[in-house]
């Protein structure tokens, strides 16, 4: 809203500084600060309200140090994160931008699923929460929307050489306006299922190639692979974030690091100079994702103010499912989804630890007659707690690992 207000002021009135809102970096900076302030100010009030409503966490006795002290800590703190994302985004971003529309939908969609789950756990006293099949259905629905929108929306395009686009049969939406020196005169905007792939020399991968056996018809049937892959990514990352949210500040801090990395990815993908230099796709109008990433980053840091050990509030599924959905959606929209295993390495490790634990327990019970475990407890952060490591040390070390993974993710833009 403020974007449109200052755009109107700049066009009609000679007021110094009004043009600042036309700069992505300025709006992104304001978004971070505003999200941080909102989460810190409203966070205290939301915590007080949740305490009055006795929306406290019921902690199972798992034999972990400091576990009993967390009994009764308010949950559903994801409401703080959602509020701190939505308000600045509505104020600072262009609301007619397809990327912003998808991200706002993702935030609200996953927030509702998580809220229902927490509501059932807290108010209905059902520790199982929302049935797993309904969670998955919600995640499938979101993945379906994102996948189909990317396939059929004329507002989500990639810049490509006209001859290459013609040879591959891509639908041309618009020709790129040539620069003064005549460069880019042969470039067009096309709808495509191509994505950036790390470490490959061409840095490009087309999901259509998975249907090579269909020949020219692959373009018509590419949705058969693209949509399910999108659904899988949304489901996997949101559940990964949910599993990571087990000790104070872990999921919040890791998500903040990922948000900062995605902001960098969005900036270079929306800048013609950087996109050409790094040999990645130039995605017109995706610069608004920098604003959203700023809101996301500020919201996570602001929530960490209350979620750091000892936590005054837990994010609950309201927060964990939301941040996972946001990360997945942004990575897909930026065509960097193949970097998710590296960027979201902590989520991946947490998820794999659960899968390995469950699989080996069932396998050993069948083979040896008794269930055995690989880890003392899963997800893996509980394994280290069982070994006597303080949760603050576990969280700090996982933040450090996440920072290293974030740097490596950015480095992959140049490694071929």
pLDDT digits (tens, 9 = 90+) for 368-393: 888 889 999 989 999 999 998 999 99
CA distances to 170, 198, 280, 408, 411 from 201, in Å: 22, 9, 11, 17, 14
- Give the tokens for residue 268: 């270079």
Residue from 130, 90, 155, 115 nearest 325 by CA: 115
pLDDT digits (tens, 9 = 90+) for 112-149: 999 999 989 888 877 778 888 899 999 999 999 999 99
C-alpha 35/C-alpha 301 separation (Å) is 9
List, for residues 246-282, the tens digit of each pLDDT value: 899 999 999 999 999 999 999 999 999 899 888 888 9
The overall pTM is greater than 0.85: yes
Could you report the per-residue pLDDT of 145-200, keeping only the tens digit for each? 999 999 999 999 999 888 888 888 888 888 887 665 555 668 889 998 999 888 87
């Amino acid at each position: 809203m403020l974007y449109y207000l200052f755009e109107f002021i700049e066009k009609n009135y000679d007021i110094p500084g009004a043009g600042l809102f036309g700069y992505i970096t300025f709006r992104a900076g304001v978004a971070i600060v505003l999200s941080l302030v909102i989460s810190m100010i409203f966070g205290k009030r939301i915590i007080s309200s949740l305490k009055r409503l006795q929306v406290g966490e019921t902690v199972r006795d798992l034999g972990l140090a400091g576990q009993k002290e967390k009994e009764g800590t308010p949950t559903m703190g994801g409401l703080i994160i959602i509020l701190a994302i939505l308000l600045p985004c509505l104020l600072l971003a262009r609301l007619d931008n397809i990327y912003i529309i998808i991200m706002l939908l993702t935030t609200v969609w996953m927030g509702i699923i998580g809220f229902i789950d927490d509501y059932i756990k807290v108010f209905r006293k059902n520790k199982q929460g929302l049935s797993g099949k309904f969670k998955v259905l919600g995640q499938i629905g979101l993945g379906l929307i994102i996948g189909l929108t990317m396939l059929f929306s004329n507002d989500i395009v990639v810049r490509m050489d006209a001859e290459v686009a013609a040879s591959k049969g891509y639908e041309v939406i618009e020709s790129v306006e040539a620069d003064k020196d005549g460069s880019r005169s042969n470039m067009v905007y096309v709808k495509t299922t191509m994505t950036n792939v790390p470490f490959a020399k061409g840095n490009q991968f087309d999901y259509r190639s998975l249907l090579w056996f269909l020949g020219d018809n692959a373009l018509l049937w590419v949705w058969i692979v693209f949509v399910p892959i999108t659904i899988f990514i949304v489901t996997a990352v949101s559940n990964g974030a949910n599993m990571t949210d087990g000790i104070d500040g872990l999921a919040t801090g890791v998500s903040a690091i990922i948000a900062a990395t995605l902001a960098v990815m969005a900036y270079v993908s929306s800048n013609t100079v950087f996109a050409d230099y790094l040999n990645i796709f130039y995605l017109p109008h995706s610069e608004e994702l920098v604003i959203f990433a700023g809101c996301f980053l500020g919201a996570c840091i602001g929530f960490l103010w209350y979620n750091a050990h000892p936590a005054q509030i837990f994010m609950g599924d309201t927060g964990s499912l939301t941040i996972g959905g946001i990360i997945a959606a942004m990575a897909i929209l930026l065509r960097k989804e193949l970097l998710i295993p590296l960027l979201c390495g902590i989520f991946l490790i947490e998820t794999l630890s659960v899968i390995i634990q469950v699989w080996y327990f069932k396998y050993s019970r069948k083979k040896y007659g008794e269930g055995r475990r690989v880890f003392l407890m899963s997800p893996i952060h509980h394994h280290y707690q069982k070994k006597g490591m303080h949760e603050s040390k576990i969280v700090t070390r996982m933040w450090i690992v996440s920072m290293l993974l974030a740097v490596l993710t950015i480095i992959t833009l140049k490694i071929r």
